[in-house]
Copies of this chain bind each other. A is one copy, B any other.
Amino acid sequence: MKITIGEIARQANVSKGTVSRVINGKSTVAENTRKNVLAVMKRLGYEPDPVARELSMRTKHTLGIWVGAGENRLSPYFNRIWRALLREMQLRATQFVELPEDISHVRTRFDAVLVFNSDEVDARLGLLRDRGVPAVLIGHHPGISCVAPDDVGGGRLAGLSLLSLGHRSLLHLTVGEEAQWARDRAEGFRSALAGATLAGVKVAQVCGEASVLGGYRLMRDAWRAGHRPTGVFCATDEMAVGALGALADLGVGVPAQVSVVGFDGLVELHPGLASVGQDIPAIAHQAVSLALAAIGKDSVRKTVVPVSLIRGTTLGPAPA
């Protein structure tokens, strides 16, 4: 038979209320009885039933995670975020459940939902609002609590780093304008160069796919088209890996002739890759914090998580 709080109470000669108080440590309990109750609990191997607790406390200690259909679960970035969330939840004794595509028949067994940014994000947020479930977005979006890396600052950081190493001819590999993060990274990069363009700095931008292959093609084609940058800033590390491959195939020395800086800090992709590193544990931490804080209230808060430059071995001074 399952051991309940009532059984503990009986064996410890106290009331259920007192046992509950011992468990939660909320109200004060005499040291003697506390010890006694704890001893009985230990002896019987008691574990409070989480479901009963959820019912009376009306908090489920559960967050939902809603991954967009278009989200690339196979990307190393996604994987890192996922694992960081897992760790974070463990620390907070909170479980997390992944929601299926279609939540219309899903019963809300969670206190709040973390949403990954994607094209369908508007529809999703609407659905959640209708059901009264607080949501936190990983990414940028108006009108909702968000957590995102400092994309603008990261772009600027990359630009400034290249400039300070003497690079005067730059190339930016990125995706189209549809994604907010890409716009922000590009904007930051341009802003770093804003004053410098007058001083003879040239910068070009080409757009393609955010993948290794995409980066490879962009770099190869740009080079063939006559671009001869000494510094290349790639909107993602995967593109940067592709760019490195293309440069290798073209026989261009890195970083002797060309420096390459990526974005995300996924050093496992390519040893030595220079990159604007995201603090993924911090992002996970903030996302969960915001989600848990959002329960009950409906405040909207935006959190921007700082980034830092990973120097690596693909970033060096401009050739003379």
Contact = CB atoms under 8 A, between A and B. Distances in A.
Interface string A80-115: 001100110110010111101110011111000000
B102 A90 contact: yes
Copies in the complex: 2
Interface stretch (A48-56, A194-202, A256-264): A48-56
Contacts of A73: 79, 82-83
A109 B50 CA distance: 7
A49 B108 CA distance: 8
Contacts of A62: 97
A221 interface: no
Interface in A14-62: 47-52, 54-55, 60, 62
A74 interface: yes
Given A74-B79, A90-B100, A95-B97, 10 more contacts: A48-B107, A50-B108, A51-B60, A73-B79, A74-B76, A86-B98, A87-B100, A90-B102, A90-B106, A95-B109
B93 A96 contact: no
Max chain B Cβ within 10 angstroms of own Cβ: one of A52, A60, A79, A98: A98
Interface of A: 47-52, 54-55, 60, 62, 73-74, 76, 79, 82-83, 86-87, 89-90, 93, 95-98, 100-102, 105-109
A253 B131 CA distance: 58
Chain A contact residues: over half helix, strand or loop, or mixed?
mixed
A52 B55 contact: yes
A103 to B, nearest CB: 9
A97 B97 contact: yes
A170 to B, nearest CB: 32
Given A51-B60, A52-B55, A100 B89 contact: yes
Contacts of A54: 51
